[in-house]
Structure 1
């Protein structure tokens, strides 16, 4: 039994050390801007592996230099309860499960129909936790780690800082990361100068930015942009 207990103790110590490492990195983000995220580095390696060279556009800008229109649009599109929850929006998760169950039931009744688009209920904080420090794998262990990091982000960083880091690192196209790079790539202006319609157009791209980048004039994007414009003014900012 002793070798087994020793092995269990070593695994527990390794997991504790990993959590302390993650917490220390998050705590440092109170004053230090992250230069890159795990997701961005994996995308960079994928580009290099494909032999097309590295395409990386990103420029950090402070929270105050990002249009409030874009902040409101992203909150409305991705996490409308951002300022009120503690990192996990259980109501949003429950609604996402219900939507997905209905979509799958409809697809089962129509075998020839296109596969339903599965929607998640992840908050902005959960998305940041995943992209900052975790791999793209999908399993219960990684989901559990995401939950721990989400709580750490909420405890150690103010909401405004969480949104600032998110907006400066989120993907908006192939090799396009952050609000400033996205504003200049799509509209030839700074993130501070974005209008409400431009901000809404960027926000609706977030579920699949590389796909929507190829169809900027699609009727689907235009319709979603109009719908988001109608409600983003009610979004509460930190």
Structure 2
């Protein structure tokens, strides 16, 4: 009696190949991103996508890394006062700020405001590119979780202050201080620190020297807020 041939299982096996490939790819990206973040825990980011954009536009890149321990404390206070008053209290995301930003944007207006923390901005500046989109925001959230877990607050502030754009082709508060005030960021007055902090949201459009209009008023506001940060020890996590 002839035996029946077993049905072939190859088509079914082939159907699982894309899924296996996807799982392996996701796992590989997770391992790569964790290793990348761990490396930057000890090594200054040598280059960023934002810097690359300047280079491709024909601009030179000016940066000069300075350890957080040597950056004037007024600079970190000004950054917290301007960008993220709850920096030492949250774990990467300020839910209240995000909710408030969503409500303001839903109400309409010409300016779309975000609720990004210093941690989110550091993650974006170090590992990603500028611009919006849900995909990039999703990656930003993932890298924010990683740097909060692997770097800690001091390293997050150190990286942020060293790679944030502070002028056209200028990166980091040390290079910004040298450009605007002719001295490094180890000795800054509260006003100088506030002026650089006021430039951060729009570094290609706002002047750091002799600011006028909104930038001047905003800088003066940051000076007052930074005094509160100092008095209330809201910068304790970076000292």
TM-score range, shorter chain: 0.7 to 0.9
- Secondary structure at the counterpart of residue 172 of structure 1: strand
Q: Which residue of 2 aligns with 1:119?
A: 113
TM-score (normalizing by structure 1): 0.87
Give the CA deviation at 1:214.
8.6
| 1:55–1:174 contact (8 Å) kept in structure 2 | no
Distance 1:184 1:200 in 2: 15
Provide the aligned length of Structure 1 versus Structure 2. Answer: 221
Distance of 2:83 and 2:131 partners within structure 1: 21
**TM-superposed deviation, 1:234:** 2.2
Equivalent position of 1:10 in the other structure: 21
Aligned to 1:90: 95
Please identify, of 2-11 and 155-164, the stretch whose mean Cα deviation from structure 2 is larger: 2-11
Structure 1 spans left out of the alignment, 5+ residues:
49-53, 108-115
Distance (whole Å) between structure 2 residues aligned to residue 79 and residue 214 of structure 1:
20
Structure 1 contact 57–177 (Cα < 8 Å) conserved = yes
| Residue 42 of structure 2, aligned match among 17, 31, 35 | 31
Higher relative contact order (CA 8 A, sep 6+): 1
Unaligned runs of 5+ residues in structure 2 are: 1-11
Over 3 Å counting, the alpha-carbon distance change for 1:222 and 1:137 in structure 2 is closer
Which one of 154, 173, 179 corresponds to residue 179 of structure 1? 173
CA contact (8 A) 1:73 1:228 kept: yes
Q: How does 1:148-159 map to 2 (within 5 A)?
A: 148-159=142-153
Determine helix, strand or coil for the equivalent of 2:142: helix
> Out of 103, 106, 121, which is 1:101 matched to?
106
Residue 188 of structure 1 and its aligned partner are, at CA, apart by 0.6
1:145 offset after TM fit, Å? 1.5
**3-state SS of paired residue (2:206):** helix
Query: Would the alpha carbon gap of residues 215 and 198 (structure 1) be closer, same or farther in structure 2, given more than 3 Å must change?
Result: closer
Please say which structure displays the higher CA radius of gyration: 2
Q: Secondary structure at the match of 1:203?
A: helix
Say which SS state the counterpart of residue 75 (structure 2) adopts: helix
Shift of residue 215 of structure 1?
8.3
Paired with 1:151 and 1:8, the residues of 2 have a C-alpha distance of 26
Taking the aligned partners of 1:12 and 1:32, their CA distance within structure 2 comes to 30
Counterpart pick for 2:32 among 15, 21, 41: 21
